[in-house]
Structure 1
Amino acid sequence: MKPVSSLENKSEHDFNLSTISSVINNVGTSVAKVFDSEPTPQSGMVFDRSFIILALVMYMIGLVMVASSSMPVAERLFNNPFHFVIRHTIYIVLSLGIAGVALQIPMAWWQKNSSYLLIFGIFLLVVVLLIGRSVNGSTRWIVLGPITVQAAEPAKLFFFCYLAAYLVRRRDQVMEDWKGFAKPLVVFAVLAGLLLRQPDLGTIIVMFVTTFGLLFLAGAKLWQFVSLASVGILLLSLLAIFEPYRWRRITGFLDPWEDPFGSGYQLTQSLMAYGRGEIFGQGLGNSIQKLEYLPEAHTDFVMAVLAEEFGFIGIASILALSMVLVFKALMLGKKALAKEKFFEAFFAYAIGIWVCFQAAVNVGASAGIVPTKGLTMPLISYGGSSMIIMTLAVVILVRIDHELRMQSIQATSSKRKSRKAGEMNE
């Protein structure tokens, strides 16, 4: 009887192992299907919904933080604590409306009209210097009735669109010839000159880093990058040294406590907000620094208020959301490149680098890691132009993903039709 018992136990053991193995395989297959970016015709997934979910989540977080951080200054300036909240809500609704229209535009249109979009961006930068409104010594806004347009925001997007199209047309020249490498830098120099007249050094740095990254991905040679980086660092250093207010920002950033009520005032107040937040924060609405101790609390330094009210956990969550958005943009660019959709690939790469660097500079400035540059936190900070353009950038990513998926679906359908035709012929 014992041998029989042992055989039964062995068979039960083998059955359990095979069952567990089968379950693990099924789970693995299911997980692979969930994360597989290649759709099947039956799935009905013609675009990546996670882009929209990420944008909406960041919208809502931004709306809550703008409401929390702007009420004291809105009450003093407009006798209405909800002034900036109402305007920010309008910007979100307007962004969603523009997104609905832009989603219908094929990527071929962006590539075909990239030069015209660049010219329009340059036109806006010229117009803002002629009739723009000055705020805190900077002339960056075009006033159109109740709406103000920050010309640098569309100029960034249109320049990246032009650069992506240029790299498609002249990729071989960029890789082999100095002239092909230098031409987009001439266009960048024109934009940089106009932006310096505002002045807006932060936007120039974002555009420079994105251009640098795209040229690297396009296959430019190492010596070209060394030359570009050396010239860029030299020029940026000269701009900081020979402009007194920029030099004060740098010295204030290095040691803000040396002049806590002068050049280091904004940063010291921001650091106090970070310090009070600790791990879990003081709770929503319990920030002290937003009570007009911290200037620009709802725009450039909204992350400091978020750090004070939600602590390290809040900042880490926002950075995680931004990181996921950037990672998905870069992976989308990689997928487009594999399918030889070069314009879409370079455009997705540009958006990913742009969002990544701008978010890093915004958080880094409020945390005292880099000098303050006046850059908004993508999809979080108050600001209509930034909100609309960043929404447009996300919509372009959705459109790229949609076209790649449709291409895969059509290719799959064609293969099935040809296979069926072959079977019928047999």
Structure 2
Amino acid sequence: MLSKSLNNSAVDLPLLLIAIMLLALGLVMVTSASIEVAASQYKDPLFHFYRQLTYLLISLLLAGCVFMVPMNSWLRFGPALLFAAMGLLIAVLLIGREINGSVRWISLGLFNLQASELAKLFFIVYLAGYSVRQQEAVQNTWLGLIKPMGLLSIATFLLLLEPDFGAVVVLMSTAIGMLFMAGVKLWRFSILILVCAGAAAAIAVSQPYRMARLTTYIDPWSHQFDSGYQLTQALIAFGRGEWFGVGLGNSIQKSFYLPEAHTDFVFAVLAEETGLVGALLVISLLIGLTLRSLFIGLQAQQRGLTFSGYLAYGIGLLFGMQSLINIGVNTGLLPTKGLTLPFLSYGGSSLIVNCLALAVLFRIDYESRLVMNKPSPKRRKKGRAGK
């Protein structure tokens, strides 16, 4: 009965429930993690709460508009979105605003647009369409792989100029995963993985600051008061949280010990205040979000909506990879990178783009249900005969 009611519902209820919980948790944790910083810098403890709430309302309004766009329109405008993505990555290098040594943001007056967030979404829309248009070439020839990887290399080069190595890793891994879902032969896929891994390793050791992050990642406590400061403070937050946390709002690490507590390291503050139980709940929600996205993609593909299926795969991989890297950085399992945690970190660009991606997922599910509920020719014929 439960599965039948889920199938007959207007939207994907598990995805909707996960989204609501993540958005609510994000608003609460941004508020909690930023109170001390906001009180000191802006004389208003709720400064970041009001801004994040505004971003959330804008995100929901834009998501409602995006939901109304048919998937055929996304397929048709895929190449234009690719040019838009490249244009954003070039524009941020020309007119971007520098923050903490990186030029990643374009000032729009009321807030700063992080170009890489939109570029990632636009790129996977294009790649999903390319995988449909060139499906045979993607599955059976090297040329079908070289073309999108060449475009990915250009995007990677532009991202490294910012620099934004975290976005490079997320975009590369998502694109490679989408190509695998599109049916690339395993031996070609294995070679592609090796080439990309080698390129990523070369990029990682090409700059002294990246090498410093790698050495810090191996033994952060030997660099506790310089390059390892952020990571050690995050690990202290996890240690203080223990099983059930110190209580919502009672974090010590957010009080100027842990830099970027409400952005890149909000998960560490969450673990300190809600403990292992709260951290596992958030991880479960993010895993559920990723798996549900992939399931929606599988359903769409099985019902003949190939482009929608590939795009849902890409969105699921995007959510999953960004969550994996952010949590890995917070827990010391991965070298430090500047990546937000989807739906939980403070920031307008991240929240808006994630909500837009969710709206696309809901649209894919909606059109997939229309196909499923559409009566077959045999059923229609039988109905007329009965009359």
Query: Which of the pair has more CA radius of gyration?
Result: 1
> How far off its partner does 1:277 sit?
0.4
**Residues 1:124 and 2:88 aligned together:** yes
Q: Could you tell me which residue of structure 2 aligns to residue 391 of structure 1?
A: 355
Q: Is the 8 A contact 2:300 2:309 kept in 1?
A: yes
Secondary structure, in 3 states, of the residue corresponding to 2:232? helix
| C-alpha spacing 1:284/1:194, structure 2 compared with 1 (3 Å) | same
Deviations along 1:28-47, one digit per CA (max 9) or x if unpaired, are: xx244245x3x3xxxxx332
Report 1:150-165 matches (<5 A).
150-165=114-129
**Which of residues 221, 224, 229 is equivalent to 1:257?**
221
Q: Is the 8 A contact 2:303 2:372 kept in 1?
A: no
Report 1:216-365 matches (<5 A).
216-365=180-329
Q: Could you tell me which residue of structure 2 aligns to residue 406 of structure 1?
A: 370
Query: Given residue 24 of structure 2, which amino acid in structure 1 is its aligned partner?
Result: M
Q: Is the 8 A contact 1:115 1:162 kept in 2?
A: yes
Q: Could you tell me which residue of structure 2 aligns to residue 81 of structure 1?
A: 45
**Residues 1:63 and 2:34 aligned together:** no
Q: Could you tell me which residue of structure 2 aligns to residue 188 of structure 1?
A: 152
Q: Could you tell me which residue of structure 2 aligns to residue 33 of structure 1?
A: 4
Report 1:72-111 matches (<5 A).
72-111=36-75
> How far off its partner does 1:324 sit?
1.3
Q: Is the 8 A contact 2:271 2:279 kept in 1?
A: yes
Q: Could you tell me which residue of structure 2 aligns to residue 8 of structure 1?
A: none
Deviations along 1:382-408, one digit per CA (max 9) or x if unpaired, are: 010010000011111100010011122
**Which of residues 144, 149, 157 is equivalent to 2:108?**
144
Q: Is the 8 A contact 1:107 1:400 kept in 2?
A: yes
Q: Could you tell me which residue of structure 1 aligns to residue 173 of structure 2?
A: 209
Deviations along 1:31-87, one digit per CA (max 9) or x if unpaired, are: 44245x3x3xxxxx3322332332221111111111111011112221221111111
Secondary structure, in 3 states, of the residue corresponding to 2:319? helix
> How far off its partner does 1:222 sit?
2.4
Q: How many residues align?
A: 387
RMSD between aligned alpha carbons?
1.2
Secondary structure, in 3 states, of the residue corresponding to 1:63? helix
Deviations along 1:119-153, one digit per CA (max 9) or x if unpaired, are: 11111111110111101110000001122100000
> How far off its partner does 1:423 sit?
2.6
Deviations along 1:131-178, one digit per CA (max 9) or x if unpaired, are: 111011100000011221000000000000000000001110011111
Secondary structure, in 3 states, of the residue corresponding to 1:374? coil
Q: Is the 8 A contact 1:48 1:401 kept in 2?
A: yes
Q: Is the 8 A contact 1:46 1:406 kept in 2?
A: no
C-alpha distance in 2 between matches for 1:279 and 1:194: 43
> How far off its partner does 1:416 sit?
4.2
| C-alpha spacing 1:32/1:85, structure 2 compared with 1 (3 Å) | closer
Q: Indicate the percent of aligned positions where both proteins have the same amino acid.
A: 43
Query: Given residue 33 of structure 1, which amino acid in structure 2 is its aligned partner?
Result: K
Q: Is the 8 A contact 2:89 2:119 kept in 1?
A: yes
Unaligned residue ranges in structure 2 (runs of 5+): none
C-alpha distance in 2 between matches for 1:385 and 1:293: 26
Q: Could you tell me which residue of structure 2 aligns to residue 26 of structure 1?
A: none
Query: Given residue 140 of structure 2, which amino acid in structure 1 is its aligned partner?
Result: E
> How far off its partner does 1:114 sit?
0.5
**Which of residues 120, 137, 142 is equivalent to 1:173?**
137
Q: Could you tell me which residue of structure 1 aligns to residue 386 of structure 2?
A: 423
TM-score when scaled to structure 1?
A: 0.89
C-alpha distance in 2 between matches for 1:155 and 1:56: 25
Unaligned residue ranges in structure 1 (runs of 5+): 1-29, 40-44
Query: Given residue 313 of structure 1, which amino acid in structure 2 is its aligned partner?
Result: V
> How far off its partner does 1:240 sit?
1.6
Q: Could you tell me which residue of structure 2 aligns to residue 382 of structure 1?
A: 346
Q: Could you tell me which residue of structure 1 aligns to residue 161 of structure 2?
A: 197
**Residues 1:366 and 2:366 aligned together:** no
C-alpha distance in 2 between matches for 1:271 and 1:415: 62
Q: Is the 8 A contact 2:96 2:103 kept in 1?
A: yes
C-alpha distance in 2 between matches for 1:231 and 1:134: 32
TM-score when scaled to structure 2?
A: 0.97
Q: Could you tell me which residue of structure 2 aligns to residue 113 of structure 1?
A: 77
Q: Is the 8 A contact 2:303 2:371 kept in 1?
A: no
C-alpha distance in 2 between matches for 1:216 and 1:242: 29
